[in-house]
Each structure stands twice: as structure tokens, then as C-alpha cells.
Amino acid sequence: MGLDKTTPLAVIHGPKSKNGIGILEYGAFQLLEHIKTILNHLETDSPTGILIRTMIENHSAELGIEDEIWNVWKDIILTTMSKTWIKNTIQNMKKYKMVIQSTIPKKLTTWRVGDKMLMDMILHSPGNRVTVTQMRKAQEVRRFLKVLTLSDILVQGEVLEEIWNAVQAQDSRSRN
């Protein structure tokens, strides 16, 4: 098949029914392979399944949300996520309106009854008009202070003094 760099991409990736060659674009092929890997391993105890679930939990903690990262419906939160194949897959799934549903229970939950994740509160607040810059700043501050939940910054309804003074904790404030 004599292809060279001057062959138009429309011909290379065009469907055979339209006289194209029908070669799948690499990005589409990669997305399909990632989704196949997730679907085949997410709910198994294989090393790949354990790795995927660990990455999901790490991303959830990084984003400060309780929702499964597959269900992050606001693109604004994805701007604060580390660049990994999981982020790339989520962004492409959103682009093509794809959804993954899992029966695995959420791993990242609050430790206290009635507690809430700070970033979930920001994302789900009525009339939310948070900009990308504001979201990045909120994440930066939350990560600096090493807080995840509302109870990490409040005691009996009062903001902790070290939070007001922006004192960085030695380790996560959660579980205290």
C-alpha cells in the first residue's frame, strides 16, 4: 500500500465506503484500548485492576472529590488533575459522550457523619460560577493546607486557627 507523508489524512483515515483506506487514527485506537483495559480489569483483582483502582483513588484524593472520577461532569475540575492516561481517557470519553459505570464502591469517603468534601461543595454549590483560575487556586490552597473535608478546617463550626494562618500540616489533616 504505497503511503507516504503527502497522502492526505482524509484518505488514510476515511472509511472504505467513501473510498478511504480506513486506518483508525492512533488517538482513537489508543482511547479504545484504554477503555477495553479499564472494562476488562477495573473490577478484577488482577495487577492491572488493582493499579487502575489505585490510580482512581489517587486522582480522587488529588482532586478532592468523593465522586468517581469517571463521573466528573465539570471540565473545570479536570484542569487541576495530573496528566496521566486516566485523565486523557476521561477527557476523550467526555468528548465522545462515553460513560463507564462501575459496581465498585467509592473508596474515598468522609470519616465523619455529615462531613463533606471541600471541592465537592465548591463544584455542587448552587449558582456555581467558578473560573478555571479560581478552581486552580482553591486546589492549590487545599493541597498546601493538606485538607480534604469540611471537618479538616472546622471545629465546632469555627475555622481552625492554623487554617486561618495558613500553617501547612506535616501530614494530611483527615482522620484527626
User: Does residue 120 share a domain with residue 33?
Assistant: no
Domain end (from 76, 107, 138): 107
Domain end (from 107, 134, 160): 107
User: Does residue 128 share a domain with residue 83?
Assistant: no
Q: Is residue 1 part of a domain?
A: no
Please calculate the CA angle 151-154-155 and round it to the nearest 5 degrees.
100
pLDDT computed for residue 171 by the predictor: 67
User: Does residue 80 share a domain with residue 52?
Assistant: yes
Say how many domains are in the chain.
Answer: 2
Domain end (from 92, 107, 122): 107
**For 114-135, what is each residue's pLDDT tens digit?**
888 888 888 877 777 788 888 8
Q: Is residue 101 part of a domain?
A: yes
**For 2-37, what is each residue's pLDDT tens digit?**
677 787 878 877 888 888 887 777 778 889 999 999
User: Does residue 128 share a domain with residue 78?
Assistant: no
Mention every residue, 6+ apart, whose C-beta is less than 8 A from residue 10: 20
User: Does residue 145 share a domain with residue 62?
Assistant: no
Check residues 126 and 47 and name the one with the higher pLDDT. Answer: 47
What's the distance, CA 107 to chain centroid?
14
Q: Is residue 2 part of a domain?
A: no
pLDDT of 73 > 60? The answer is: no
Most confident of 45-49, 88-92, 102-106, 170-174: 45-49
pLDDT of 40 > 90? The answer is: yes
Q: Render 44-92 in DSSP notation, one character per residue.
A: S-SHHHHHHHHHHHHHHHHHT-SS-GGG---HHHHTTS--SHHHHHHHH
Provide the domain limits for residue 155.
Answer: 110-176
User: Does residue 119 share a domain with residue 73?
Assistant: no
